[in-house]
Amino acid sequence: MPRPGPARAPRGHDSQKKRVYMRKRVCRFCQDQNLAIDYKDPKLLKHFITERAKIMPRRMTGTCANHQRKVKVAIMMARHIAFLPFTTLSK
C-alpha cells in the first residue's frame, strides 16, 4: 500500500514551462590575446571575485581552465600585497 505524500502536478505540464536560453560564456582572455592577467591590476581581478571576496567559479565567469588557474594565482598574489581584500568586514 503506497504511503500518502505531497500532491504532485500531472506529468503532461512539463512541456508548457518556458525555457530560459543561456548564452555560452566565452573566455575573455582567449578572445583578446592582448588582455593580460596581472596581479597588479585589481580593476580586472575584481570581476573574478564576489562581493564577499571569494573567487568565482569557472561556470560563472566563463574563463577556460588554463586562464582560471592563472586568475586564481593572480588574485592570491594581489591579496598578499594588499591590492585585494581577503574578506569583507561583516558586523
Q: Of 78, 87, 82, 79, nearest to 40 (Cα)?
A: 78
Residue 68 lies in a domain: yes
Residue 50 lies in a domain: yes
Please report, for the domain that includes residue 70, its CATH number: 4.10.640.10
Domain that holds residue 53: 38-91
Residue 45 lies in a domain: yes
Q: Read off the pTM.
A: 0.72
From residue 21, alpha-carbon distances to 9, 28, 62, 80 in Å are: 24, 21, 16, 39
Tens-place pLDDT, residues 38-85: 999 999 999 999 999 999 999 999 999 999 999 999 999 999 999 999
pLDDT, residue 61, reads 92
Residue 31 lies in a domain: no
CB 53 within 8 A of CB 86: yes
Q: How many independent structural domains does the chain possess? A: 1
Report phi then psi at 51, rounded to 5.
Answer: -70, -15
Residue 1 lies in a domain: no
Residue 5 lies in a domain: no
40 DSSP assignment: T
Residue 32 lies in a domain: no
